[in-house]
Amino acid sequence: MGIGEIILISLAKILLVISLLFLTVAYLTYFERKVSAWAQNRIGPNRVGFKGLLQPFADVLKLLLKEDIVPEKADRIVHLLAPMISLFVAFSTFAVIPFGPEVHLFGYDIPLVVADVNMGILFVLALTSLAVYGLTLAGWSSGSKYSLLGGIRSSAQMISYEISMGFSIGGVLLLSESLRPIAIVESQSGWMWNAIVQPIGFITFLVSAFAETNRLPFDLPEAEPELVGGFHTEYSSMKFAGFFLSEYANMIIAAALIVTLYLGGWQIPYIDLLGLPSGLVALLQIGAFVFKLVAVLFFFLWVRWSLPRFRYDQLMNLGWKVMFPLSLINIIWVALLIMIFGL
């Protein structure tokens, strides 16, 4: 493939992924309100457009037209920078997530990733570490003590759970022997999804994903009764929209990571036994990825309305004294499996 074709295909993929991601983030907010309403025996938004489907656009319009208030003691530049960092990290991470197998279109072999780097998972880990900056700077630059406390707690929480997340990923990497996301997905062939082979790692990664995205039951940094709004108290209109969208985009990233690393990515077990044409198989596998993503996102939303919130010391206790040893035990478990079964 010539350089022009590579650029063109990459641009097409980027456009597709970014537009779908924006749409998914917007509709995730709608979906969250609907699911939370159902869990509370009521119907969610159903007035704006058919069954309330235009609600995200109404929300965005409202946030656009609001007055942008910056507190007097705030550091204006950093105050402006923090939601940008959050948004940047949230959307760039999606560049390395594969959402389908290789397709053969117009004579080209196109892998369905925006950037097929062979250290994809390392890129993701690096970006999630950058995400801490967004929250910390937000909390600090607001010039209010509640925001500062919220920002500090949130950054401490994210840093603590990154460790168990990294070690859980280490367990996956032992089996797949590669940091490339497509290779990780392909190593989970048949029924040997990583969720079944390393259940402890799955649970620690799941819990760490909840903690990384500041999602209940770990959302003390933005809990309203405790800290008013935490790090995003002093933000209004589009900057708040930036944090709001980046939280949901982070959720989608975490769900996509869980699907890629532990639930077999786009694979449907034993689909090649059916002998379908390869175009249809590719479509079905993309559909399988989307289905698994939606299922994990539903689980995120479901847990939010079912579990009580962790107190901050319980949260740190869990992160350091329970999740970290468990993820180490997981690595030992995987190493034992490799030794015994010679995988």
Partner 1 sequence: MEKKSVKRRKKDLTFMERIYIPEIIKGLSLTFKNMIRPKFTFEYPEEKFIPSGAYRGRPVLVEETNGDERCVACGLCSRVCPALAIEVQAAETEREKERYPEKFEINMLRCIFCGFCEDVCPEEAIVMSKDYELTFSNREEAIYGKDKLLVPVNQLQDRIDFLREYK
Q: Residues touching partner 1: how many (CB under 8 A)?
A: 13
Measured between alpha carbons, how far is 73 from 63 in angstroms, rounded to an integer?
23
DSSP state of 104: E
Binding mask 271-310 for partner 1 (x = CB under 8 A): -------------------------------xx-xxx---
Q: How far is the CB of 35 from partner 1 (least distance, A)?
A: 7
Which residues are CB-contacts of 128 (< 8 A; sequence separation ≥ 6)? Answer: 89, 93, 158, 162, 165, 212
Cβ atoms of residues 297 and 314 within 8 Å: no
Is 133 a binding residue for partner 1 by CB under 8 A? The answer is no
Residues 21-40 that bind partner 1 (CB under 8 A): 35, 38-40
Measured between alpha carbons, how far is 243 from 267 in angstroms, rounded to an integer?
33
Q: How far is the CB of 242 from partner 1 (least distance, A)?
A: 30
Helix 324-341 to helix 199-212 angle (10° resolution) is 150
**Minimum CB distance to partner 1 smaller for 47 or for 339:** 47
Q: How far is the CB of 251 from partner 1 (least distance, A)?
A: 18
Return the residue of 46, 118, 189, 278 that touches partner 1, per CB under 8 A. 46
**Minimum CB distance to partner 1 smaller for 141 or for 208:** 208
Q: How far is the CB of 200 from partner 1 (least distance, A)?
A: 12
Is 41 a binding residue for partner 1 by CB under 8 A? The answer is yes
Rounded CA Rg of the chain = 21
Strand, helix or coil for residue 90: helix
Is 314 a binding residue for partner 1 by CB under 8 A? The answer is no
**Minimum CB distance to partner 1 smaller for 12 or for 307:** 307
DSSP state of 108: E
Cβ atoms of residues 297 and 253 within 8 Å: no
**Minimum CB distance to partner 1 smaller for 42 or for 67:** 42
**Minimum CB distance to partner 1 smaller for 240 or for 310:** 310
Measured between alpha carbons, how far is 165 from 98 in angstroms, rounded to an integer?
20
Measured between alpha carbons, how far is 214 from 155 in angstroms, rounded to an integer?
10
Q: Which residues here bind partner 1, judged by CB under 8 A?
A: 35, 38-43, 46, 302-303, 305-307
